[in-house]
Chain A
Amino acid sequence: MEQGEGLLMSNISKKNNLFSVFIIFVALVLSFGIISIVHNFTTKRFENSNYIVNLETLMKVMSGNYEFVLLNDSIFSSLKQNKLKVYKAIDEGIIEGYCVDITVDGINGEINLVTGISHSGVINDTEILFYNESPTFGSKVFNDEYLDKFKGLNYPMEFSNEVIGLNAISGATITSNTVKDALNIALKAILLAKESEGLN
């Protein structure tokens, strides 16, 4: 009698287990399906709205009306940057310079900037597009006056903080280090771009 009951119990629990697994499977299929459908619905708008720098910004940092062509990401794979885009600025068939759109991870969050660099590797102008947590420690630093100090510099950029004129406000120094790092990477990218252009 007891053995029979024991078997019956195990029967029920086996059925329960199978049912549970089935429910989980259905839930998984449904969820993946729903997410994919919503993704298809939103993906077109997403690609147009974000992450592609607009023409106006590119022209501003290069200080001129150029034609901008996006370079292939594979040229810059050695820099190991996830969010780096380089455009070459062309005027009448001659490459006048490059624009670099780079996002780096700073202590205070992401900083996304676009900088225009002449063909000789000298920074023309820089524009900060996005920095996380507006306003934050470093935000005092992000104005035209500060960014002007980077004009005319080339790789490798080593300058003391006195040149920039920063106070020892904790955080302000760090964020400007991030900007400096981003610009250094941009200048390195230009060197790679120039190499690859030599192959064409």
Chain B
Amino acid sequence: MSSNNKLLNIFREGTVKNNPVFFQLIGLCPVLAITISVKNAFVMGIAFTLVITFSNFIISLFKKLISAQTKLIIYLIVISVFVSIVDMLLKVYLPTVSRSLGVFVPLIAVNCIIISRLDNFAIKKNAFLSMVDGISMGVGFSIALIVVAFVRMILGTGTIFGYNIFGSNYKPVLLMLSPAGAFFTFGMILALIQWIVNKKEAK
């Protein structure tokens, strides 16, 4: 029972309490750049979760072999292996999405979130916990991606999955699809979250 609680805690930590994007504010490049369509965001989220979960798992399994000098290179090697595999799988099974995501799939390899989780968690805890932590961070990241993509897609194109929700006379706010819109959306979402947190603390 208590071990179940522990797992749940780790999971909640990654997705809500210490969300890597909204609270730690790291690994932001994909959140701003590719969140123009929800489909891309979803696929990117899955790719990221796979990479971080397996990397956490492997590093945690072999943590005794890694010394302080070599850890950076080992982290990057392990992460790159999984990123390459995911990249190849995407190119085969989802070629359009892979082309849309472009350079950001290889960039998962240098994403701050993965390296910081490996250094803070996987190198200390056991394999199973590390895997759960990886999944939780990945899910948190995916949630962030999808939320931002959702807002940008609704405002920027007025459609969800092809359905015009504001009526056909709606002139979409094209600015939302640009980099400026990305920063703006992200800032507003952060403000919303901060407002919610402030309210909770005031109670």
Contacts and interface: CB of A to CB of B under 8 A. Distances in A.
A23 B96 contact: no
B12 to A, nearest CB: 33
Contacts of B96: 130
A34 B99 contact: no
A133 B177 contact: yes
Contact of A46 (B70, B92, B174): B92
A171 B70 CA distance: 47
A168 interface: no
Given A34-B85, A130-B96, A50 B77 contact: no
A42 B89 contact: yes
Interface stretch (A24-32, A87-95, A114-122, A184-192): A24-32
Given A27-B78, A133-B37, A38 B85 contact: yes
Contact of B81 (A16, A31, A134): A31
A110 B99 contact: yes
Nearest to A37: B85
A72 interface: no
Interface stretch (B22-30, B45-53, B61-69): B61-69
Interface in A1-16: 16
Query: Would you call the interface of chain A mostly helix, strand, loop, or mixed?
Result: helix
Interface in B81-113: 81, 84-85, 88-89, 91-92, 95-96, 99-100, 102
Given A23-B70, A49-B92, A132 B102 contact: yes
B10 interface: no
A136 interface: yes
Residue from A16, A27, A34, A46 having most chain B Cβ neighbours under 10 A: A27
A50 B69 CA distance: 42
B81 A130 contact: no
A109 B103 CA distance: 11
B40 to A, nearest CB: 8
B85 A137 contact: no
A102 B73 CA distance: 39
Interface residues of A, number: 29
Given A20-B67, A34-B85, A38-B85, A137 B91 contact: no
Nearest to A27: B77
A133 B67 CA distance: 43
A115 B203 CA distance: 64
Which one of A20, A28, A110 has the greatest number of beta carbons of chain B within 10 Å?
A20
A38 B89 CA distance: 9
Interface of B: 36-37, 65-67, 69-70, 73-74, 77-78, 80-81, 84-85, 88-89, 91-92, 95-96, 99-100, 102, 157, 174, 177-178
Closest A-B pairs by Cβ, 5 of them: A50-B95, A31-B81, A20-B70, A133-B36, A35-B84
Interface of A: 16-17, 19-20, 23-24, 27-28, 31, 34-35, 38-39, 42, 45-46, 49-50, 109-110, 130, 132-137, 169, 171
Given A46-B88, A137-B174, 16 more contacts: A20-B69, A23-B65, A23-B66, A23-B70, A23-B74, A27-B74, A27-B77, A28-B77, A38-B85, A130-B96, A133-B36, A134-B100, A136-B36, A169-B174, A171-B174, A171-B178
22 contacts: A20-B67, A24-B74, A24-B77, A27-B78, A31-B77, A35-B81, A35-B85, A39-B88, A45-B92, A46-B92, A49-B92, A50-B95, A130-B99, A132-B99, A133-B100, A133-B177, A134-B100, A135-B157, A135-B177, A137-B178, A171-B174, A171-B178
